[in-house]
Amino acid sequence: MIGAIEAGGTKFVCAISDDSLTIQDRMTIPTTTPDETLGKVFAFFDQYELSAIGIGSFGPIGVNKESDSYGFVTTTPKTAWKNTDFLGRMKARYNIPIGWTTDVNAAALGELEAGAAKGLSSCVYLTVGTGIGGGAVVDGKPLEGFGHPEMGHVLVKLHPEDSFEGVCPYHGNCLEGLAAGPAIEKRYGDKAQNLSNREEVWTIQAYYIAQALMNYTLILSPEKIILGGGVMKQKQLFPLIRSAFKTLLNDYVETPDLESYITSPDLGDDAGITGSLILAMNELKK
């Protein structure tokens, strides 16, 4: 059996599967304090004889093995989790291989191996919800350097009809500050799901996301871009994003057909946990 954790800021999803990635058991745990949350994680995994675990965690996290912060949740706005040695506590409990990356890198890996990007060697996964985060897989491996991608905090220019100052406490009008769920709610005074019929909301939203996707395309040239998260359940966004992307890119570089290039996740809400299981399998093969 292999285990996996999709560790989100709101909830942890824990799962165990066989070697074919068929999930045998799973549990959802509210993200509270590290002691309380990890206590429930341990209680779940202690029931099984595991050969490896994969963790896709909310962040920022330390991914550089040469750094003292490796394995830690670092500068998260979830104050109870700041500077928590998440990976260290898991390794102290389970003396088995444990894979470690961000939740969005894990989702990208899941979609590459078993979802919308299956058969390709690279993709970008962007989640648009309470926050905005992005992960990338290049040559079958999650993209990491001295740290990990923070694609939600790229700077974008304001839409000509938008004067919103943004909600990001670090950057104001970055992508997350202008296009995450809380930004939509603060700008219009209502939640995204209640604004489906207001065309101007989604035209402005698409403009910001398309700018980011153009930047990812020009920098990484991924073979596919996958958009998930609660806000992207507004399916009217996809054609608007593709149209804005085409206008912004202005035929500067050739891309795949936009219908297939910018798409929703095949794995839906299971992209992260599937990718974390794959992370565990990859760690076991090392």
pLDDT tens digits, one per residue of 115-158? 999 999 999 999 999 899 999 999 989 998 888 889 999 999 99
Q: What is the mean pLDDT of residues 269-275?
A: 96
Q: How confident is the model at residue 9 (pLDDT cuts 50, 70, 90)?
A: confident
Fold equal for 2-103+269-285 and 116-265 = yes
**One-character DSSP codes across 153-219:** G-B-PPPTT------BTTTBSBHHHHHSHHHHHHHHSS-GGG-TT-HHHHHHHHHHHHHHHHHHHHH
Q: What is the pLDDT of residue 77?
A: 78
**Terminal-to-terminal C-alpha distance of the chain:** 17
Which fold is adopted by the domain 2-103+269-285? Answer: Nucleotidyltransferase; domain 5 (3.30.420)
Compute the distance between CA of residue 141 and CA of residue 276 in angstroms, rounded to an integer.
Answer: 13
Q: What is the pLDDT of residue 97?
A: 98
- For residue 98, give the nearest of 117, 120, 70 by alpha carbon: 70
Domain ranges in the chain?
2-103+269-285, 116-265
In angstroms and rounded to an integer, the radius of gyration of the C-alpha atoms of the chain is 19
- For residue 15, give the nearest of 285, 286, 269 by alpha carbon: 269
Compute the distance between CA of residue 98 and CA of residue 281 in angstroms, rounded to an integer.
Answer: 9
Q: What is the pLDDT of residue 69?
A: 96
- For residue 58, give the nearest of 135, 122, 111, 124 by alpha carbon: 135
Compute the distance between CA of residue 175 and CA of residue 154 in angstroms, rounded to an integer.
Answer: 6
Q: What is the pLDDT of residue 145?
A: 84
Q: What is the pLDDT of residue 14?
A: 98
Confirm if 141 and 159 have CB atoms less than 8 A apart: no
* Residue 13: its H or E element: strand 11-17
Q: How confident is the model at residue 258 (pLDDT cuts 50, 70, 90)?
A: very high
DSSP state of 72: -
Q: What is the pLDDT of residue 48?
A: 97
Homologous superfamily of domain range 116-265: ATPase, nucleotide binding domain (3.30.420.40)
